[in-house]
Chains A and B, each alone.
Chain A
Amino acid sequence: MSWLENIAQKFPGAVKVLPSPAGENVLEVTRDALLAVCAYLKNEHQPGFNFLMDLGGVDYLTFPQPRPERFELICNLFSWPQKVRLRLRVPVPEHDPVVPSVTSLWAGAGWYEREVWDLFGVRFKGLADHRRILLYDEFKGHPLRKDYPISRRHPLVSNEKMSAPGSNGQARTHRIKTPQPGANAQNMLLNMGPSHPAMHGVIHLLLELDGETVESAEVGIGYLHRAFEKDAEAVTWTQVFPYTDRLNYVSPLINNVGYALAVEKVMGLQITERCQYIRVIMSEVSRITDHLTCIAASAMELGAMTGFLYFIKVRDMLYELVEEITGARLTVSYVRIGGVKADLTPTFADNLRKILKELRIALDELHKLLTRNRIFVDRMQGVGVISKQRAIDFGFTGPMLRSCGVDYDVRKAEPYLVYDRLDFDIPYGTNGDNYDRYLVRMEEVEQSVHILEQCLQQIPGGEINVDHEGRVLPASEMADYGKFGRTKGLLQIEALTDPTLSGGNSRLRDNIFPDNKRAVLPAKEKVYGSIEGLMNHFMLIMEGYGIAPPIGEAYQAVEGANGELGFYVISDGSGKPYRVDVRPPCFALMSGFHEMIKGDAVADIIATFGTVNMIAGELDR
């Protein structure tokens, strides 16, 4: 009997083992038993599930298969260091959408539950702070419900107000909270953000200050809520890629890869070896740009402008390298389901090596400038501390968790792509303070350089794209020459056109009517130059014909620059995703931010906020 069935036996009638084609551990739990099951899983079960990685909702209103109830609550649990994942699915009826809160077990659950209330309208019994989180109080309805139209807006500022005389007073001011009864009347309340030089991105801190000391703090988010998850349900599987770029826009390629891997997991698709290497290379380049930006910005906010200039210089070189491959500096949309958009250019390896050399010089310079700089060390060491236990309770991952001494890294714990073939170390700190986070990031850049060098040595030749059945398509045909303007050779290609479209040449019939399930778009020169290519493209792009994973679901985690970036994808068998739920690493980090700044001075908030590396795009989605 498997360990899942053991759990089901412990709670007869309340827990059911669900089959998972993607090979995941899934349990269905009734909502009455949820709290007891979670307490058992966390405290008594071996291995104990100490991380609540993600908590989200699903609305099954229009799902083709019957479901026990309209709503479902999803808890993705993780056990460290045993590296076991478990998903709990809790059906929630429409007429009484109430679930017990699990905040008593995982401190990080509070924000996730507020989000589910905000977007799905499911209430949580026992949740102390039951306000909206991403949207605002004036918003009516719950936008991720399937019956909420995507463009129903509730604007706070309208055009009429702008043209009205005396409009200055009419723009709605930001509400400033009045002190809670019982709060110390001596303390001052201070609003920091949403538009504040150190709150890069948009975030709102409400601080209760005793002199210069932060007594308590409240973090307000949602100012960059762009409805990623609702948009993803409105477009086709491939069209989601541009939206994923803009989640963590400092490392867009990692987001691309994470989403592609999740969809490929649902489809059961294995990509070619060369493509796996390309994805690793691009992910690591993205990780370096992310860490450079984080260190540069946080150093600049402490007054070290030189460090910012050094790192931005190298980052621009990396952007240009990314542009050489993908065609864009920042929002790349490079990865495709089943492959990537284009192969590496012939000059890529040389260019990358040159940049890595420059990067090493910049790293050395920054070490000299900062690492033993008295002012920098004094402002970083012992500031913004969080304990190992609290970090795990809040679901911290990435450099923040590693600075506390937990060496959890998805690349090592559950190697995806070819990370298991590469030799690299996971740096981790001991104190959980700003200085350790700075050192961890600096060392991770070194390790990424190391990974890149190995990849350049190991990367095999061959094809980069596969179709749905895993058949290899020639890379030479897939390379996107047309887009880069190298169309000289294309003029010689004979265009195979057939006005009847029924296929006059029977040998080409298979090509003219390609398999509906094929996943990868044909190269542009094939689309423009031959009827098969055009048909293939048409079939993939037209709704109802294109990429349509079978009904199913999967959760795939990758190591983002800020920690575990998870995509939980549900397919209803159609050409559009039924639900794409993101587990953004920042969300967990910011939910514990108030504890990190408690007791520090106001000026320390800036140092701490810099090392958290909050990215509003993935925080608010």
Chain B
Amino acid sequence: MRNLLGGDNFVTSRVDAAVGWARKFSLFQYPFVTACCGMEYMAVSGPQYDLDRFGAALPRFSPRQADVLFVVGTISQKIAPIMRRVYDQMCEPKWVVAFGVCTCTGGFYDNYSTVQGIDTIVPVDVYIPGCPPRPETVLQGIMLLQEKIQKQKQEY
């Protein structure tokens, strides 16, 4: 019987899946909106694209209550420490979404003032490319994040 159920792992993985399922549909996001991408972020939460369908509509403006840090828009050297501080203040488990090409790589702002990708400052889970990304791309990014959350090893 023990062999049939796959050992102790059997029970653990089921709980993992259940927790992952619950977590992926209740994403509380912290929108760190700085620039142009914010306009598309608005469109995504607007009636036409409706982020609510993914259980990710409710923004929390306190990092303590948020699960996902949405970095939306260019991060300059001046604001980098502040974004880092917001990330540090978030509780585990936490994820980071890089929204737009500026946050992924710095985009076409290869200059003295722009951080060349936020992954030089915080770890990133999902990169959404585009300048700014279309709402559909954002929705796909959310789904990729959900997939990742579902599959990952859950800590609880």
Contacts and interface: CB of A to CB of B under 8 A. Distances in A.
Contacts of A230: 111-112
Given A195-B32, A225-B76, A157 B81 contact: yes
Contact of A293 (B39, B73, B109): B39
Given A309-B47, A316-B43, A136 B78 contact: yes
Interface in A311-327: 312-313, 315-316, 319
Interface residues of A, number: 59
**Chain A interface mostly helix, strand, loop or mixed?**
loop
Interface string B105-145: 00011111111000011100000000110100000000000
A223 B86 CA distance: 15
Given A171-B88, A223-B76, A330 B113 contact: no
A14 to B, nearest CB: 37
B74 interface: yes
A159 interface: yes
A154 B77 CA distance: 8
B72 to A, nearest CB: 11
Contacts of B74: 224, 226
Contact of B35 (A151, A153, A224): A224
Interface string A363-376: 00000000000000
Contact of A330 (B40, B77, B120): B40
A309 to B, nearest CB: 5
Interface extent on B, as a size class?
A: 35 or more
Nearest to A220: B78
B14 interface: no
A200 B39 CA distance: 11
Contacts of A246: 35-36
Contacts of B79: 194, 202, 223-224
A23 interface: no
Contacts, number: 145
Nearest to B30: A195
A201 B79 CA distance: 11
Given A157-B121, A330-B36, A616-B35, A225 B46 contact: no
A309 B32 contact: no
A224 B76 contact: yes
A355 B79 CA distance: 39
- The winner among B39, B78, B80 for most chain A CB atoms within 10 A is B78
A249 B35 contact: yes
B48 interface: yes
B134 to A, nearest CB: 7
B80 A156 contact: yes
Contacts of A143: 112-113
B122 A319 contact: no
A330 B132 contact: yes
B54 interface: no
Contact of A150 (B34, B42, B111): B111
Given A226-B109, A293-B39, A195 B77 contact: no
A227 B77 contact: no
B61 A196 contact: yes
Interface in A565-621: 616-617, 620
A515 B65 CA distance: 62
**Shortest 10 CB-CB contacts between residues of A and residues of B:** A249-B36, A312-B46, A227-B111, A197-B61, A223-B79, A171-B84, A172-B81, A168-B88, A227-B113, A157-B80
14 contacts: A139-B77, A151-B111, A156-B81, A159-B121, A168-B88, A171-B88, A201-B34, A222-B78, A224-B34, A224-B76, A226-B109, A231-B108, A242-B108, A330-B40
Interface of A: 135-136, 139, 143, 148-159, 162, 167-168, 171-174, 194-197, 200-202, 222-227, 230-231, 242-243, 245-246, 249-250, 293, 297, 308-309, 312-313, 315-316, 319, 329-331, 616-617, 620
Given A194-B82, A312-B48, 9 more contacts: A153-B77, A157-B84, A167-B88, A201-B38, A226-B76, A226-B114, A230-B111, A245-B36, A330-B40
